Amino acid sequence: MTLPFLPFARPTLDEETIAAVAEVLRSGWITSGPRVREFEDALTRYLGGERTVRSFTSATAGLEIALQACGIGPGDEVVVPAMTFAASANVVLRVGARPVLVDVEADTRNLDPQRLRDAITGRTRAIMPVHFAGLAADLDAIGSIARERGLRVIEDAAHAIGTRHQGRLVGSYGDLVCFSFHPNKNMTTIEGGALSFPGGAAAEVRCADLERFHGIVRNAEGELDVQIPGGKSNLSDVSACIGLAQLAKLDGFIERRHALVARYFERLHTDPAMVLPARGDAGHSWHIFAPLLPLDRLRLSRSGFVAALQARGIGAGVHYPSLAGFGAYQRLGYRTEQFPNAAHIGANTLTLPLFPGMQPADVDRVCDACAEIIEVNRL
């Protein structure tokens, strides 16, 4: 019997959610409206009620607006991990600043605080830690350096909705924190993202409100004024409706991910061995499961390994190549060899299937396939 194709990610959408979306469509109000306000209020409550939350069409838009809200622009520098999705650094370039790449820790794949201090210059305005795969970065060390040097911390928490750091939800404290609700994340709004602002950040919140919808404000009579040449990245009520349903199930989704990951750690044994990701603690939200392939001991490439999985009906991803290997960053003078951990991870990483709809048998199928491919291709 041919098994169905197993993708590396798939959103979990139930019939109740689909029915709720149909209700929004029938309402005649499908752009930003009451459901967006309800979703932002729900996110605020989820994060403890002490923050202000604004939603956007993507986390990328949220990160760019966070930089704008912090007044970061030409001549400024922002520290970014050398191993992350390109959006983290791209938005820095888009506001006219320079991303300063710093290597990651070999095990956590998060920004290395030991290397961070040396990367800070008189032009540095912010640090952008990324919570890779849902494992919280070392916010204590990063925050201490930021306070010492008077820097903003803009957390790229695209992987980390539901992640906890020392028992506290990422986004429930600290400076600006940006989440993603892309379909492959732990919860989705189809496309979407959100910024969590600290108390006392009224100026930053106002900037976000202006930037996400054309710089428009209205007076008490409803008359319109455009105060800045803002963009357009406001979330729709359709997306917010999905987000409300997903947020209510988020903790259950994460619990399921923990169970599937435990199965991976129990069953994923190959010869030569794959390097398994850092397990972290109970606060890890396990957005992805990305071991490293032992490519130096195999006679096939990563793309060959992916093709072999595909032939067995299993999807895989690559999260992520080193930023320093991309043309946009090589033109800034960066080279992969400057960031050895990011280079090694980027060249050997493979993302295996992980989503709440998987069954333990699906994990076993992936593990057996990996073991077999490695067995027949080892040097």
Residues marked as catalytic: 185
Given a contact cutoff of 8 angstroms between Cβ atoms, the answer to whether 189 and 240 are in contact is yes
Rounded Cα distance, 59 and 193, in Å = 4
300 Cβ neighbours under 8 A, 6+ residues apart: 308, 373, 377
CA atoms within 13 A on the CB side of 324: 24
Cα dihedral sign for 273, 274, 280, 286? negative
Neighbouring-strand partners of residue 314? 6
Rounded Cα distance, 243 and 40, in Å = 10
Rounded Cα distance, 19 and 283, in Å = 32
149 residue type, one letter: R
Rounded Cα distance, 307 and 311, in Å = 6
Given a contact cutoff of 8 angstroms between Cβ atoms, the answer to whether 228 and 20 are in contact is no
Virtual torsion, Cα 75, 78, 81, 87, nearest 10 deg: -80
- C-alpha distances (whole Å) from 217 to each of 70, 92, 131, 181, 228 are 20, 27, 35, 27, 10
83 Cβ neighbours under 8 A, 6+ residues apart: 103, 104, 109, 132, 320, 322, 323, 339, 341, 342, 345, 346
Strands (E), the chain: 52-56, 77-81, 98-102, 124-127, 152-157, 164-165, 168-169, 176-180, 193-197, 216-218, 224-226
